[in-house]
């Protein structure tokens, strides 16, 4: 159901906005240890790009097998994926050179501008490797603290809700897009970019504005 809830809107958007249909529409069972059948079908179909809506373990298996069988096509992964974790699971940097992952943070996790957030993670979770997933919740925490301050003393649940609903273009410093809420719209982050490897370093692929 999780995969379907991401897959169906993506296919619909490609059709309605770009008049594109998938040349293949494949599934991979949760817990699969091999994706050879899917990879070979995709290789035969020669797609321009693959949208992989998969859990982390299954994406790593897919990337491993795609590399093994010479399927060197750009793969777009969803926000649930950490590109660093996928690299480690799949077998190293060469395996994920064609992987692009939606990325909500302001900069790669190892960028100097993220040092403040990295230090927070290291302080409270010293045994955890710092990567993309370590910081995903920090933007929401900043938004919550901001709303609590604006709600003031004698806090009630309704005061907090009202303050959150008045959050507008809040720059958290950790997310690459500001947070805005209204009473009708609670999807706070509306933007983002992609992250991939350029050489042996992570780099952001900025969203291009249409001309």
Say if CB 132 and CB 205 are below 8 A apart: no
What distance in Å separates the CA atoms of residue 83 and residue 169, rounded to the nearest whole number? 27
Q: What's phi and psi for 43, nearest 5 deg?
A: -60, -40
The SS3 of residue 76 is strand
Structure confidence at residue 210 (pLDDT): 40
Give me 47's structure tokens: 């797609």
What pLDDT, in 10s, does the model give residues 5-41?
A: 989 999 999 999 999 999 999 999 999 999 999 999 9
DSSP characters over 171-201: --SSBSS-B---SS----B---EEEEEETTE
Structure confidence at residue 136 (pLDDT): 81
Of the candidates 183, 194, 197, the one whose C-alpha atom is nearest the C-alpha of residue 78 is 194
Structure confidence at residue 207 (pLDDT): 58
Structure confidence at residue 134 (pLDDT): 80
DSSP state of 92: S
Question: Which pTM value belongs to this model?
Answer: 0.82
> Where does the chain show beta strands of DSSP type E?
49-52, 74-77, 99-103, 193-198, 201-205
Of the candidates 140, 64, 59, the one whose C-alpha atom is nearest the C-alpha of residue 100 is 59
Structure confidence at residue 70 (pLDDT): 96
Residue by residue, pLDDT tens for the chain (211 residues) are: 888 898 999 999 999 999 999 999 999 999 999 999 999 999 999 999 999 999 999 999 999 999 999 999 999 998 888 898 999 999 999 999 999 998 889 998 888 999 999 999 999 999 988 877 788 889 999 999 999 999 999 999 999 999 999 999 999 999 989 999 999 999 998 888 899 999 999 999 875 444 3
What distance in Å separates the CA atoms of residue 135 and residue 117, rounded to the nearest whole number? 7
DSSP state of 114: G
Q: Is 40 left (phi over 0), alpha (psi -120 to 50) or beta?
A: alpha
């Amino acid at each position: 159901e999780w995969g379907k809830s991401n897959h169906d809107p993506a296919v619909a958007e490609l059709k309605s906005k770009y008049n594109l249909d998938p040349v293949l529409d494949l599934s991979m069972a949760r817990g699969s240890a091999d994706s050879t059948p899917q990879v070979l079908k995709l290789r035969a179909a020669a797609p321009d790009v693959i949208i992989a809506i998969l859990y982390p373990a299954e994406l790593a298996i897919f990337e491993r097998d795609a590399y093994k069988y010479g399927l060197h096509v750009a793969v777009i992964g969803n926000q649930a994926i950490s590109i660093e974790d996928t690299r480690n699971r799949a077998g190293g940097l060469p395996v994920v050179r064609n992987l692009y992952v939606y990325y909500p943070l302001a900069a790669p996790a190892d960028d100097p501008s993220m040092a403040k957030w990295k230090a927070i993670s290291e302080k409270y979770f010293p045994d955890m490797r710092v990567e993309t997933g370590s910081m995903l919740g920090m933007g929401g925490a900043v938004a919550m603290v901001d709303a609590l301050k604006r709600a003031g003393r004698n806090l009630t649940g309704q005061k907090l809700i009202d303050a959150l609903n008045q959050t507008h273009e809040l720059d958290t410093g950790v997310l690459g897009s500001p947070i805005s809420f209204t009473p009708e719209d609670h999807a706070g982050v509306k933007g983002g970019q992609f992250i991939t490897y350029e050489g042996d370093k992570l780099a952001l692929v900025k969203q291009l504005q249409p001309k």
